Chain A
Amino acid sequence: MPLSPSLRRGIRDSILIFLAIGAFGVAFGVLAVDAGFSVWLALLASVVIVSGAAQFTMIGLLASGTAPVLLAATGLGLRHLPMSATLARLIGPQPLRTRLRLAFILVDETFGLTVHAAATGVDDLVAYKTGADLTLYSGWVTGTAVGAWFGEAVDPAAVGLGAFFGLMFLGLAAPLVRRRRDWVVALVAVAATLAAVAWLPAAWRLTSAAAVAALIGAFLHE
């Protein structure tokens, strides 16, 4: 069965990110095993959670106990609420099975690609996101497996992948800046992030900064 053009484009657009996601998966696998997880538990975490932020935080707070981990996971997850509302608006009415599937891999990267695709006129956003989801999910899980089994031999941080991720989101934001209001939102987001870095726990920074900037943007009328 031939793949739809939108699905193929979703796969194509996410190839570069696949490499970065895979490298981060390697880093997670290394850290998870180092923190005391078995190889299979590390792999299971990537298969069922599918969230780099939540999983790295879980590993980082493992020694602090259960409550901090669950609280941090909740704080990190809050940003998914407006993301899921935005995605629901973009895809329109869809069967429940489709919506559950799209929600399962509603990560920053595939959300960003889908918003970018909507802004650039991709016809079938469900197929597009499915292509991106499959690509990035396979990269995340495969990377975790490699890191968990062979982790000590690789060092993803050495090539500056953190900067690549930042650049990727800068690139995803670029086409969304169309009006003066959008510039204000972007500048407020930077300022709010720097303020959040100084004053808030890591789990709450991005959600808080984005919410403040979006709220100010919502009050600004063009």
Chain B
Amino acid sequence: MSDLALIGSVAVITFATRVAFLVRPRSSPEGLIGRFLDVFPLALFVAIAANSLIAPSGSPEVTPGLAAALGGIVGGVLFRRALWAVLAVGAVAFYAARAWSG
């Protein structure tokens, strides 16, 4: 397969998964599926954060990312879960840990 065809195929696969539940209006799922969808965003965001901060190199390790995660949690708790506070306190913790660890 040429590089152009490969790019096209990946684009089609990606768009197909994105449009699956948007292509036509449906009633909101209820019951177990509805509750699954209620908490899925939270689960996904935490998974992405954990993957980026705690295991950035593909294996769990203590890095400045862990300090950033703890700092972000502290910032969120102190400032009513504001996005800016999580980013600011987490970033300060990240750079402080990176400077400290050399």
Contact = CB atoms under 8 A, between A and B. Distances in A.
B14 A168 contact: no
A155 to B, nearest CB: 15
B94 A160 contact: yes
A84 B19 contact: yes
B49 A169 contact: yes
B4 to A, nearest CB: 7
Contact of A206 (B11, B47, B86, B91): B47
A13 B78 CA distance: 21
Given A48-B11, A103-B18, A37 B45 contact: no
Given A186-B46, A194-B55, A217 B14 contact: no
Interface residues of B, number: 71
A166 B68 contact: yes
Contact of B53 (A16, A44, A166): A166
A122 interface: no
Most B CB atoms within 10 A — which of A88, A176, A181? A88
A160 B86 contact: no
Contact of A202 (B58, B73, B76, B86): B58
Interface stretch (A1-9, A110-118, A140-148): A110-118
Which of B20, B28, B44, B54 is the most central at the interface, judged by chain A CB atoms within 10 Å of its CB? B44
Contacts of B76: 170-171, 174
Contact of A103 (B3, B19, B37, B94): B19
A36 B45 CA distance: 33
A89 interface: yes
B5 to A, nearest CB: 9
A214 B39 contact: yes
Interface in A154-175: 160, 162-175
Contact of B25 (A51, A84, A88, A115): A88
22 contacts: A45-B11, A54-B10, A77-B13, A78-B17, A79-B44, A81-B17, A84-B17, A84-B19, A102-B22, A103-B22, A166-B52, A166-B65, A167-B49, A169-B48, A171-B87, A174-B76, A174-B81, A181-B39, A189-B50, A194-B54, A202-B58, A218-B33
Given A172-B45, A214-B40, 10 more contacts: A58-B7, A66-B1, A80-B20, A103-B23, A163-B94, A167-B94, A169-B52, A177-B42, A190-B46, A215-B36
Interface of B: 1, 3-4, 6-11, 13-26, 28-29, 32-33, 35-56, 58-60, 64-65, 68-69, 72-73, 76, 81-87, 90-91, 94-95, 98
